[in-house]
Amino acid sequence: MGVAPFRLKPWFSERPWGRQSLKPWYEETGTKELVGEAWLTGPQCAVEEGDQAGKTLASLAGDLGGEFPLLVKLLFPNEKLSVQVHPDDAQAQAAGEARGKTECWYVLEAEPGASVMLGLKPGVNAEMLAASVADNTMESLVEKVPVSVGDMLFVDAGTVHAIEPGVVLLETQQTSDVTYRLYDYGRPRELHLEQGLKVIKPKTAAGKVAPKEMAGFTRLIEQKYFVVDRFELGRMEERSLTLDGAGCLVGLKGKAWVITPGEEVELEPGKAVVVPQGTGEVIVDAEEGATFVRCVAPVSADSSAETAKHSGV
C-alpha cells in the first residue's frame, strides 16, 4: 500500500489513578496532571519522523487499508483502577459501538505482592454485584491474582476486572474504549452499573497464559484478536520477521532498528513502530541487547473488524 513502517509518538492519558512521573519509561509527559496510560497506537498518536511525520494514525487509515485494529498501551497505576467490564463484539454493536473490547496484560514491572483482580468468585451473580456497590464490598467478590514480571494475562470480554498499584503493564486490546465502570471506591466518576451488569459473564477464558517457546521468540498469547510475541536480541544481532496481519513492534529494552528496503526506523523503549499489513519481511537490527514485542491482529480478526465498520453497526 506504499506506506513504510513508522514510529508513533505516545499519547498520554490523564487518569486519577495515575502517576506524575513515568520515569524511566518517559522523561516527560507534557502535563503536570496524573497520567495513567501511554497510548502507543492510539488514533491520535502522531508519526514522529519520515514522509508521514505529523500525521495521526487515524488519518492514515485509508493508506493502511482501514482503522488500525490494535490499541497498545503502557499502564502506570498508582492507585486501584475502577472495577469494570467490557462488552464483546455483539454486545457492543447492539449498543451502537463498532466493536467490543477484549484485551491482555503483559507484566513489565511488579512490586512484591502485586496482584490484579480478574473474574468473579464462584457463586457470585449480578444481583450480588449490584448490592455490593452500596456497602463498598465489590472487591471481595472478585478474584485476586498474584502477578510477577513476565506474566501474561488474558482479559476476555465480559470479565469483571481491575488493576491494582505496584505494576507496569503492556496492554494489547481491540481498538475500542468501551468500558463499563461498576465500582470506583467513592471517586466522583460516573458508574455504568446497568450497562455493565448486562454484559458480565460469570465464567470466561480470562486468566494467566503460559508462554510457548517458538523458533527464535516466545509466544506470550494467541487469541482471536491478537497475537503477542517477545523477542530478545543480543548486541549487534539481526533478526528477520514478518507480521501476518496489521501490527506493530513495541520496544521494551535496548536500541534496535526496523529495516525495510530503503527505510530504517529506530525502535525505542516505550514506543511502537507500526508495520503496515502487506509489508512483508522486516529486519530488526539490535545495536544493543534489545527486547521488544510483536503485536499482531490476525487477518481473520482484522477482516471481521472491517466488516463491522462497513456494516454501519
For the chain, the maximum distance between any two Cα atoms, rounded to a whole number of angstroms, is 62
Residue 311 pLDDT greater than 70, yes or no: no
Residue 5 and residue 260 in contact, taking contact as beta carbons nearer than 8 Å: yes
Which residues have a Cβ under 8 Å from the Cβ of 99 and sit 6 or more positions away?
Answer: 89, 92, 93, 174, 175, 176, 305, 308
Given this structure, which CATH class describes domain 212-310?
mainly beta
Position 303 confidence tier, pLDDT thresholds 50, 70, 90? very low
Q: Across residues 164-170, what is the average pLDDT?
A: 98
Share above pLDDT 70 across residues of the chain, in percent, rounded to a whole number: 95
CATH architecture of 6-207: Sandwich (2.60)
Q: Given this chain, do its domains 6-207 and 212-310 carry the same CATH topology?
A: yes
At 169, the amino acid letter reads: L
User: What pLDDT is stored for residue 262 in this prediction?
Assistant: 87
Position 310 confidence tier, pLDDT thresholds 50, 70, 90? very low
- The grid cell for 248 is 506493530
Residue 294 and residue 247 in contact, taking contact as beta carbons nearer than 8 Å: yes
> pLDDT tens digits, residue range 96-122?
999 999 999 999 999 999 999 999 999
> pLDDT tens digits, residue range 213-243?
999 999 999 999 999 999 999 999 999 999 9
- The three-state (H, E, C) secondary structure of 150-203, written as one string: CCEEEECCCCCEEECCCEEEEEEEECCCCCEEEECCCCCCCCCHHHHHHHCCCC
Position 301 confidence tier, pLDDT thresholds 50, 70, 90? low
Lowest mean pLDDT among 129-138, 161-170, 200-209, 295-304: 295-304
Tally Cβ neighbours within 10 Å of residue 222: 14
> pLDDT tens digits, residue range 265-280?
999 999 999 999 999 9
Tally Cβ neighbours within 10 Å of residue 64: 17
Q: Where are the domains of the chain?
A: 6-207, 212-310
> pLDDT tens digits, residue range 169-208?
999 999 999 999 999 998 999 999 999 999 999 899 999 9
Residue 308 pLDDT greater than 60, yes or no: no
Q: Is the pTM of this model over 0.85?
A: yes
Q: How far apart are CA 216 and CA 287, in angstroms?
A: 18
